[in-house]
Chains A and B, each alone.
Chain A
Amino acid sequence: EAGVAQSPRYKIIEKRQSVAFWCNPISGHATLYWYQQILGQGPKLLIQFQNNGVVDDSQLPKDRFSAERLKGVDSTLKIQPAKLEDSAVYLCASSRVDTQYFGPGTRLTVL
């Protein structure tokens, strides 16, 4: 069974630029999650989708972050404009029931 796929693996941008991340979940997993993990901290949930609907986006900074999962499969997370404090690893995870399986993540550096 293929795992969660993410791209790109690394991204370096300057502040105020925009960036987008892509995630393809494990086949058949209805629930998809985006997390932000700042160095030295645990992952923080940004947004949770069930199929193509949003279940929880309470911690998503909506003035600059957006996410979509239009066809209920893959998803994109966008940051526009980026700030220095957005430097982090962005993890995508998917689940069928309770256990979440994570992708390799995208390391974002904002200069």
Chain B
Amino acid sequence: EDKVVQSPLSLVVHEGDTVTLNCSYEVTNFRSLLWYKQEKKAPTFLFMLTSSGIEKKSGRLSSILDKKELSSILNITATQTGDSAIYLCAGAPGSNTGKLIFGQGTTLQVKP
């Protein structure tokens, strides 16, 4: 059965700290791994990592895919209170174009 596991489940840091969120996946015929940020209700897309694109960066956020360890990390540097959210990791199996298997999410709280 396809499975995505995230850790830690929750994290509290102070503004300016650097955080690393972890995601491990067991996905049939793995095609890609996606990271989303969820504030209030709607998840918003952050990154997609594939075998041909294992590292992505946007501003203070960056993500790396480790194909050997079947895992990914999401780094946030110089955290701000606006980074407080649930961060979701999702694996895409090759058997179904479009289907995503989500992890349970990591709740990040950034204190002033």
Chain A interfacial positions (CB closer than 8 Å to B): 31, 33, 40-45, 48, 50, 55-56, 89, 91, 95, 97-105, 107
Closest 5 CB pairs of A and B: A42-B102, A105-B41, A102-B42, A104-B42, A102-B43
Cβ B48 vs Cβ A99 within 8 A: yes
* Inter-chain contacts of B90 with A (CB < 8 A): 42
State how many angstroms separate the Cβ of A81 from the closest Cβ of chain B: 25
Name A91's contact: one of B6, B34, B41, B98 (CB within 8 Å). Answer: B41
* Inter-chain contacts of B102 with A (CB < 8 A): 42-44
**Main secondary structure on chain B at its contact with chain A?**
strand
**Main secondary structure on chain A at its contact with chain B?**
strand
Cβ A98 vs Cβ B92 within 8 A: yes
State how many angstroms separate the Cβ of A98 from the closest Cβ of chain B: 6
Number of interface residues of B (CB under 8 A): 24
A107–B40 CA distance with the chains assembled, in angstroms: 11
* Inter-chain contacts of A89 with B (CB < 8 A): 41
Q: A43-B102, A45-B99, A55-B96 are in contact. List 8 more A-B contacts (CB 8 A).
A: A42-B105, A44-B102, A48-B98, A91-B41, A98-B31, A99-B45, A101-B45, A105-B41
Cβ B98 vs Cβ A55 within 8 A: yes
- Interface of chain B residues 17 through 73 with chain A (CB within 8 A): 31-32, 34, 36, 41-45, 48
Cβ B100 vs Cβ A100 within 8 A: yes
A99–B31 CA distance with the chains assembled, in angstroms: 12
Cβ A31 vs Cβ B98 within 8 A: yes
* Inter-chain contacts of A107 with B (CB < 8 A): 41
Say whether B75 faces chain A, with CB atoms less than 8 Å apart. no
**Most A Cβ at <10 Å: residue of B42, B44, B45, B104:** B42
A41–B107 CA distance with the chains assembled, in angstroms: 11
Say whether B88 faces chain A, with CB atoms less than 8 Å apart. yes
